[in-house]
Amino acid sequence: MDPLDIQTYREVLEQKRDAILSATPARIPSAEPGSKSGDWIDHSSEESDIHVRLALKQTDTKLLRAIDEAILRLDQGVYGICMECEEQIAPARLNAVPWTRVCIYCKEQQDKK
């Protein structure tokens, strides 16, 4: 892979990582968990918000892990090589999902399982 491409992918990955880390919750609950204010609909809504934020946090954690692994692969000189078939990952796939570990063919095979 061209050194300019490597630097470009590194910048994209680091910017995405920084964006995730600096993101703030879209909504902060108005009351402390377990408070008795509001009716059952308010409580249900607050619980739903908590579950959504937890799911988003878990997704962000997985994405951060994938980004960190991609940066490590850049450092090791194996970025852009499929971890399944060891073929080059197409630039279009890397541009779409720069933290990917596998080529489109191997990803399709994983999705079929």
The pLDDT tens digits of the residues spanning 29-49 come to 444 555 556 777 777 788 888
Q: Is residue 31 part of a domain?
A: no
Q: Domain range spanning residue 19?
A: 3-24+38-112
Amino acid (one-letter) located at 92: A
Q: For residue 50, give the CATH number of its domain.
A: 1.20.120.910
Whole-angstrom distance, CA of residue 20 vs CA of residue 10: 15
User: Residue 27 has what pLDDT?
Assistant: 44
The pLDDT tens digits of the residues spanning 50-98 come to 888 887 888 889 999 999 999 999 999 999 999 999 999 999 999 999 9
Q: Is residue 29 part of a domain?
A: no
Listed residue (108, 31, 113, 15) closest to 67, CA to CA: 15
Q: How many domains does the chain have?
A: 1
Amino acid (one-letter) located at 85: C
Q: Is residue 100 part of a domain?
A: yes
